[in-house]
A and B are shown apart, each in its own frame.
Chain A
Amino acid sequence: MKRKLHQRLAVLAILACLVLISACGSGGTDPSVSSSAAVDQEECILVGRVVPITGPLASFGSGTPFVEQQAIDYINDVLGGIYMSDLGRKLPIRLVHADSESSLTKASEAAVRLIQEEFIDIMVVSNTADTVCPVSTVCERYGIPCISVDAPADVWLAGGPYTYSFHAFFNTENELNCFMDAWDQLASNKQVGLVAPDDLEGLEIATRLPEMAIGRGYNVVDPGRFAVGAKNYGQLIRQLKGSGCQIIAGVMNAPDFAVFWRQCAELNYQPKISTIAKANLFAEDVAALGRLGDGLITEVWWAPDFPGISSLTGWNGKELADKYQVATNLENVPATIGYKHANIELLYDILSRAASVEAEKVVAAIRETELETLVGLIRFDAQNICIMPCLTGQWSVTDDGRAELKIVANTQKPDVTVNGPVRRHFPSASTLSGD
C-alpha cells in the first residue's frame, strides 16, 4: 500500500517535472537565439557568442545580447548586411548566444554546441579569461574564426599558439601598471599583499606582480593561492595584517571579493589602497558593499566619456551609453559594453574585407585588420593579439548609496581626463602601524 503510494507520488513528481520543463520551453523564443528572428537561418551569416549570463561572472554578461544585437541590427537594417563575393549579394547577420554559466567547462560545451548544433560561421566572445580562453581553444579545434576581447591578453595567449583566434585587450602588465600608478600617489610603507586565487588570471598576476612591484620599489607579501569561491579568508587576512601590508593587489570575482572585504573589516584589517582586478568593475557590486566600497581602486578600460567613435555606427561613447540606458532602463553603464560594441565593429570590418565566411579568407582578413574603433586602434600582431591601454579608477560611494567612478591616473591613455588624485581608503578609520 505504502509502496503504491510512493510510486503514485513519484509519477506525479515526474509529471510536475515534465510540466516544469515544458513551461521553460514555452517561455517565448529559444533563449539562445537572437531577437532578430526575421533573419532566416538559411540566408544569413551565423555569429556565435558565448557569454556568462548566470553565475559569479554574470555582471560581465550584462548588456549581452542587447549591445551586440543593436550593432548587428544596424548592419542588417541600415547597411543591408555584408557582401559575400561567392553569392554576389549581401547577407544579413544573425547572432546566436549561449550561456557559459561562468564556468570554463560550460563555456567549452556552449562553444561546441554553437559550432556543431547551430553551425555558426564565426565566433565573437568576451567577458574574462574563464569565458574567452575555453571558447578560443574550441574554435581552434574546429577551425572556426574567433574574435575575442575583454580578458587579459597574456592569459589568453598562454593557451596558444592560435591560428583561428584573435584577441584585443590589455595585458597583465598594463593592468598592474595602472594599479601601481595609484600606489605611487599615496604615502605608504610599500608593503603589498598579494590576493590571488588559483584560476587563470590569479596565477598570471601572482607570477607577474612580484617582479613588477620590486622594479617600482615595492615589496610583495605572497600568502599563496586560494580556491575560487572560498568562504573563509581569515588566515589570508591575518597574514596580510601581520606583514603590515598597507596595499593589497590581485584579482578576484566580485562575489568572492565581497566576502573577503567584509572579513577584512571584521578582522579590523584596513589597507590604505585596495587594487583588486575584476572585483570592482561594476557600480552595482561596489554599491552593494555600502561604505566599505568607498575608495576602492579598479582598472578601467572604457567609459562613456572616453574619446573614440564607432567605425560602424559613428556613435561616440555617450551615444552608445544613452541608447543602452534607454533600452535597459539601467542607471549604470558598465565598462564592458564599449568592447562588446567594438567586437561587432571588428566583425563587420573583417567580414566586409573577407567578403566570405570561409575560415582561411576570414583569418587572412583578420591579420590585415587596422581599425579605429570606439575603444581605440585595433591591429593584431604575429601572435594574434592587440594590447590595449588600461586606466586607473577609484570609486566613491555617496551618502544615498550610489557608486561613482573617477579616473585617478591616465598614464596609458593620456587623452582621457583625470578627475582627481587617489583618495586613501577608509579615510576616517584607524590605520596600520608604521604609518
Chain B
Amino acid sequence: MNKTKVTKKTGKKILRFGVLVVLIVLLYVLGLAGLFSTNAMRILLNIALYVTLGTMWNLMSGFTGMTSLGQQAFIGIAGYTLCVITSTYNLPFWIGIVLGGLFSAILALLMSMVLFRMRGMYFAIATWVTAEALKTFFTSWKFVKMGAGMSVKARPYPGVSLIYVIALSLSIIAILVVYSLLKSKTGLGLNAMRDDADAASSVGVNIFRSRLLCFVVSGFFTGIAGAIFYLNRGSIFPSGGFGTEWTVAIVFIVIIGGIGTIEGPILGAIIYVALSEYLSKYPGYSMIILGFIAIVVIVALPYGIAGTIERKLNLTVFSTRRTLEG
C-alpha cells in the first residue's frame, strides 16, 4: 500500500518536472528559431526579468523575513554600470552585465554593514532611503551625465532574441539557486530565522551570515536582471533606474503570486506583465486597477495564488517543505 503511494508520488513529481522541462525547452527553441514575434518576445523577456526580480525579493522577504523596499538600488547601479562600460569605456555589453551584478553585490555587502542593525519596518525603510539617496546622487553626478541619463552603446547591438535568451536563462538560474539554497541546511536556518530570529539564533543559526548571504545573492541577481532590462531598453535615467515603481511591481508580483513559494513569483510575473500590457491602453487607471487587484487578492487569498493552490490542492512543483521520515 505504502509502496504504491510512494510510486504514485514519484510519478507525479516526474510528470511535473517533465512538463516543466518541455516548457523550458520550447521557450528556448521558439525564441532561438525566431518563431515568436518581436512583441511576444518583448513580453516574455519582461516576464523572465520580473520572475528573477520577484524570486530574489521573495528569497529575502518570503523565506528570510527581510523585507526590502529598495531593490531599485541594485537595478539602478547595474543599469548605470552597463551604460558606463559600453558607452564610456567602449567594452562589450556582457562585461557590463557581469560587472553590474558584481557592483550590486558589493553594494549589498556595504549596505549590510549598517542595515543589518535594523529589523522589520526599520530595515525596509532604510533600504528605500538608500535607493532614494542613490537616485539623488546619480542625478547630480557629472560622470554619469547627471539627470540627462545615459545610453547603452553596444556594438553590434544584441537583438531582442539574444537578450530574451539571456533573460530566460537568468530566471531559470535564479530559481534553481533559490531552490537549492532553501533545500540546503542554510535554507532550514533561513526559515527558522524568518519565523523567529531569536529562537533560531539560540539553536545555532548564524543570523548575520545567513542574512548576508541572502542579501548579497539577491543584490547580485537583481542587478543582473536590471542590467539586462536596460540592455533591452537602451538608456537609463536616475528617476527610472532608482524609481520606486520597481519595488511596487516586485511586491505586487510576489504578493499576488504567493509569498514564500517558489512558484509565486513566476505566476505573479505572468499576471503582472499581462495586466501591465493590457492596462497600458488606459493610462491613469492602470495603477488604480493593479492596486485594487492586489488588495482583493490580499484579502481573499492571503497566501497568494500559488500559496492557496498549494494549501487547497496540495499541488506544488518546487516544494521546499521538509517532512520527517520514518
Known contacts A32-B281, A200-B147; A10/B233 CB under 8 A: no
Knowing A7-B300, A104-B239 are in contact, say whether A137-B234 is a contact too (CB < 8 A). yes
Which of B152, B237, B283 is within 8 Å of A104, CB to CB?
Answer: B237
* Inter-chain contact A141/B235, CB cutoff 8 Å: yes
In the complex, what distance in Å separates the CA atom of A133 from the CA atom of B149?
A: 9
Which residue of chain A is the closest to B284 with respect to CB atoms?
A: A54
Once the chains bind, are B284 and A108 in contact (CB under 8 Å)?
A: no
Query: Known interface pairs A7-B300, A21-B279, A24-B282. Does A108 touch B235 (Cβ–Cβ under 8 Å)?
Result: yes
A6:B300 contact, CB within 8 angstroms: yes
Q: Is the CB of B300 within 8 A of A10?
A: yes
Which residues from chain B contact A364 at a C-beta distance below 8 Å? none
Among residues of A, the one whose C-beta sits closest to the C-beta of B296 is A13
What residues of chain B lie closer than 8 Å to A20, measured between beta carbons? Answer: 289
Given contacts A134-B235, A158-B145, A203-B147, contact A31 B281 (CB under 8 A): yes
B316 contact set on A, CB distance < 8 A = none
Instruction: Write out the residue numbers on chain B whose beta carbons fall within 8 Å of the beta carbon of A46.
Output: none
A21-B278, A21-B289, A225-B140 given; A138·B240 CB < 8 A: no
| CB contact under 8 A between A155 and B140, given known A54-B283, A108-B233 | no
Q: Does B148 count as interface, using CB distance less than 8 angstroms?
A: yes
B122 at the interface (CB under 8 A from A): no
Chain B, Cβ-Cβ closest to A133: B149
Instruction: List A307-366 residues whose CB lies under 8 Å from chain B.
Output: none
Count residues of B near A (Cβ-Cβ below 8 Å).
40
- Distance from A302 Cβ to chain B, minimum over Cβ atoms (Å): 25
Contacts of B235 in A (CB 8 A): 108, 134, 137-138, 140-141, 159
Q: Which of A14, A21, A106, A140 contacts B283 (CB 8 A)?
A: A106
Known: A155-B148, A200-B148. A105 touches B296 (CB 8 A): no
Partner of B234, one of A17, A104, A142, A158: A142
Taken together as a complex, chains A and B put the C-alpha atoms of A101 and B243 apart, in Å, by 15
Q: Give the residue name and chain of the B residue nearest to A52 (CB).
A: B283
Q: Is A92 an interface residue (CB 8 A)?
A: no
Q: Does B280 contact A (CB under 8 A)?
A: yes
Contact B157 A198 (CB under 8 A): no
Interface residues of B in 153-183 (CB under 8 A from A): 157, 160
Q: Which residues of A contact B292 (CB under 8 A)?
A: 13, 17
Known: A105-B243, A108-B240. A203 touches B146 (CB 8 A): yes
CB-CB contacts below 8 Å: A165-204 with B: 198-200, 202-204
Docked-complex contact A141 and B283, CB < 8 angstroms: no
Is B136 located at the chain interface by the 8 A CB criterion? yes
Give the residue name and chain of the B residue nearest to A54 (CB). B284
Please, which residues of chain B bring their CB within 8 A of the CB of A137? 149, 151, 234-235
Once the chains bind, are A17 and B148 in contact (CB under 8 Å)? no
Count of A residues near B, CB < 8 Å?
50
Kindly identify, within residues 235 to 263 of chain A, every residue whose CB is under 8 Å from any CB belonging to chain B: none
Q: Which residues of B contact A133 (CB under 8 A)?
A: 148-149, 237
The reply to whether B149 and A159 contact each other, CB–CB distance below 8 Å, is yes
What's the minimum C-beta distance from B249 to chain A, rounded to whole angstroms?
A: 11
CA distance A155 to B148 in the complex (A): 7
In contact, A53 and B283 (Cβ under 8 angstroms): yes
A293 to chain B, nearest CB (A): 27
Q: Which of B149, B278, B300 contacts A134 (CB 8 A)?
A: B149
Give the CA-CA distance A141 to B93 in the complex, in Å: 14
Query: In the bound complex, what is the Cα–Cα distance between A349 and B256 (angstroms)?
Result: 51
The proximity string for B residues 286-305 relative to A, scoring 1 for CB distances below 8 Å and 0 otherwise, is 00010011001101110000
By the criterion CB–CB under 8 Å, are B245 and A17 in contact? no
Cross-chain contact A225 with B151 (CB below 8 angstroms) = no
Contacts of A142 in B (CB 8 A): 234
- Nearest to B233 among chain A residues (CB) is A108
A54 to B233, CA, bound (A): 23
Residues in A neighbouring B39, C-beta threshold 8 A: 116-117
B65-105 to A contact mask, C-beta < 8 Å, 1/0:
00000000000000000000000000000000000000000
- The answer, yes or no, to whether A84 is at the interface (CB within 8 Å) is no
Q: Which residues of B contact A138 (CB under 8 A)?
A: 233-235
CB distance from A129 to the nearest CB of B (A): 8
Which partner residue on chain B sits nearest A20 by CB separation? B289
B281 and A159 within 8 A (CB): no
- CB within 8 Å of A: which of B266-285? 278-285
Assess whether B211 is interfacial by the CB under 8 Å rule: no
Cβ of B38 < 8 Å from any Cβ of A?
Answer: yes
Report which residue of A109, A198, A228 has the largest number of chain B beta carbons within 10 angstroms of its beta carbon.
Answer: A198
CA distance A298 to B146 in the complex (A): 26
A132 CB to closest chain B CB (Å) equals 12
- Chain A neighbourhood of B279, CB < 8 A: 21
- Please give, as numbers and ranges, the residues of chain A lying within 8 Å of B281 by CB-CB distance: 24-25, 30-32
Do the beta carbons of A105 and B245 come within 8 Å of each other? yes
> Which of A14, A54, A117, A200 contacts B296 (CB under 8 A)?
A14
Q: Does A208 contact B (CB under 8 A)?
A: no
- How far in angstroms is the closest Cβ of chain A from B133? 12
Instruction: Name the A residues within 8 Å of B289 (CB-CB).
Output: 17, 20-21
Residue of B nearest to A106 (CB): B283
Do B234 and A10 touch (CB < 8 A)? no
Within 8 A of B (CB), among A184-236: 198-200, 202-204, 225, 227-228
State the CA gap A103–B39 with chains docked (Å): 22
CA distance A116 to B160 in the complex (A): 10
Confirm or deny: A113 has a beta carbon within 8 angstroms of a beta carbon on chain B.
yes
Q: Does A91 contact B (CB under 8 A)?
A: no
Bound Cα distance A112, B145 (Å): 23
When the two chains form their complex, are residues A105 and B240 in contact, meaning their CB atoms are under 8 A apart? yes
Q: What 0/1 readout, one digit per residue, does chain A (87-129) give for beta carbons within 8 Å of chain B?
A: 0000000000011010111101110110011000000000000
By beta carbon, the residue of chain A nearest B288 is A20
CB contacts (< 8 Å) of B145 on chain A: these are: 158-159
Pairwise interchain contact A159-B148, C-beta atoms closer than 8 A: yes
A265 part of interface (Cβ distance < 8 Å): no
Question: What CA separation (Å) do A6 and B296 show in the bound complex?
Answer: 10
**Residue A9, interface by CB 8 Å:** yes
Q: What distance in Å separates the Cβ of A27 from its nearest Cβ neighbour in chain B?
A: 9
In addition to A17-B289, A17-B292, A138-B235, 5 A-B residue pairs with Cβ atoms within 8 Å of each other are: A24-B285, A105-B245, A141-B233, A142-B234, A159-B151
Which residues does A use to contact B, with CB under 8 Å? 6-7, 9-11, 13-14, 17, 20-21, 24-25, 30-32, 53-54, 98-99, 101, 103-106, 108-110, 112-113, 116-117, 133-134, 137-138, 140-142, 155, 158-159, 198-200, 202-204, 225, 227-228
Between-chain CB contacts (< 8 Å), 23 pairs: A9-B299, A10-B301, A13-B292, A13-B300, A20-B289, A21-B279, A21-B289, A31-B281, A101-B284, A104-B237, A105-B240, A105-B243, A116-B38, A117-B39, A117-B42, A137-B234, A155-B148, A158-B145, A199-B147, A200-B147, A203-B139, A203-B147, A203-B148
